[in-house]
Amino acid sequence: MKIDTEIRHVTKAGANLFLELGFSPEEARRLEAASRKQINDTRLLKQQLMEALAAWISEHHLKQAEAAVILMVSRPRVSDVVNKKVAKFTIDALVEMLSRVGKPVRLAIG
């Protein structure tokens, strides 16, 4: 059995994907705005977690290789944290690293 992998449509950068999926213009705008807000909220949360990790590393005057051993990650991963490369991490991974250094994370809603 052959799997069909033909590309039939490419959404242009900046286009509203929800509109292209057939939602009404009003609903597509609402869904896109909600999606952008959720993405931004997640990015901001990751940045806060990374700032806490970077501050801990700085406070303890650790080299990235030393921090990597304590955090149980590779040195390049520590570099990604320090340089705030949010796309490379899940919230879970960042919370786990903070837990390893004795910094429990509490979530406040609202």
Confidence of residue 108 (pLDDT cuts 50, 70, 90): confident
Enumerate the domain spans of the chain: 17-100
- For residues 103 and 81, give the distance between their C-alpha atoms in angstroms, rounded to a whole number: 16
| pLDDT at residue number 109 | 84
pTM here?
0.80
CA distance linking residue 106 with residue 87, whole number of Å: 22
Report, as an integer, the average pLDDT of 23-34: 96
Q: What is the pLDDT of residue 110?
A: 79
pLDDT by residue (tens digit) across 61-104? Answer: 999 999 999 999 999 999 999 999 999 999 999 999 999 999 98
CATH class of 17-100: mainly alpha
Structure tokens at 108: 């406040």
